């Protein structure tokens, strides 16, 4: 079951400048940063609020660390902006399979490593009304998306 909007991923060319914009404009502070070599990004998670299931909602700012990363390709084609919407779930494998059973293509046959050590998969934007959709399971599956540190 989908429990919340986990985050909205935003592609940016300069992570520090984007962080500063969201800090000054909306008061959002960085909750977590990391480099995800597999995805080819440096990222910052800005916590927006808590949710009913004990988790949180975030803005995820994504800066490419190499030219061949999906975010670099997105920036080249589209410029800065919303890259994807992510939904939290306690079962990324089951939720992915349910989407596949409904005729939606998953981008990966198995979940991959995501922020905070989460498990993730993406659903094809052509099957999701033009939106790249991510499914996110927190590292502690029993927490149903509880805050991750």
pLDDT of residue 25: 95
60 in catalytic set: yes
Share in percent of the chain as helix, strand, coil (round to 5): 25, 40, 35
Q: Which of 60, 83, 137, 144 is catalytic?
A: 60
Q: Which of 83, 95, 134, 137 is catalytic?
A: 134
Please tell me the least confidently modeled range out of 36-40, 48-52, 92-96. 48-52
Q: What is the mean pLDDT of residues 97-126?
A: 96
The domain 2-143: what is its CATH number?
3.10.180.10
Task: Indicate the pairing of strand 30-36 with strand 133-137.
Answer: unpaired
pTM: 0.87
43 in catalytic set: yes
At CA 16, angle to CA 79 and CA 149, rounded to 5?
A: 105
7 in catalytic set: yes
pLDDT of residue 105: 98
84 in catalytic set: yes
pLDDT confidence bin for 145, thresholds 50/70/90: very low
pLDDT of residue 55: 76
Q: Which of 7, 83, 95, 144 is catalytic?
A: 7
Q: Which of 39, 63, 84, 137 is catalytic?
A: 84
Please tell me the least confidently modeled range out of 41-50, 81-90, 124-133, 140-149. 140-149
Which of 128, 127, 116, 124 shows the shortest CA–CA distance to 136?
116
Q: What is the mean pLDDT of residues 107-120?
A: 93
pLDDT of residue 73: 97
Question: Domain residue spans in the chain?
Answer: 2-143
């Amino acid at each position: 079951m989908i429990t919340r909007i986990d985050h909205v991923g935003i592609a940016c060319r300069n992570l520090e400048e984007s962080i500063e914009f969201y800090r000054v404009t909306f008061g959002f502070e960085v909750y977590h940063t990391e480099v995800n070599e597999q995805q080819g990004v440096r990222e910052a998670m800005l916590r927006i609020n808590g949710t009913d299931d004990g988790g949180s909602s975030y803005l995820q700012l994504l800066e490419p660390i190499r030219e061949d990363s999906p975010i670099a390709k997105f920036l080249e084609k589209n410029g800065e902006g919303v890259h994807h919407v992510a939904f939290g779930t306690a079962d990324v494998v089951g939720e992915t399979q349910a989407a596949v059973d409904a005729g939606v293509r998953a981008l990966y046959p198995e979940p991959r490593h995501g922020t905070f050590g989460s498990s993730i998969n993406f659903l094809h934007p052509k099957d999701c009304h033009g939106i790249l959709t991510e499914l996110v399971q927190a590292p502690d599956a029993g927490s149903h998306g509880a805050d991750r540190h």
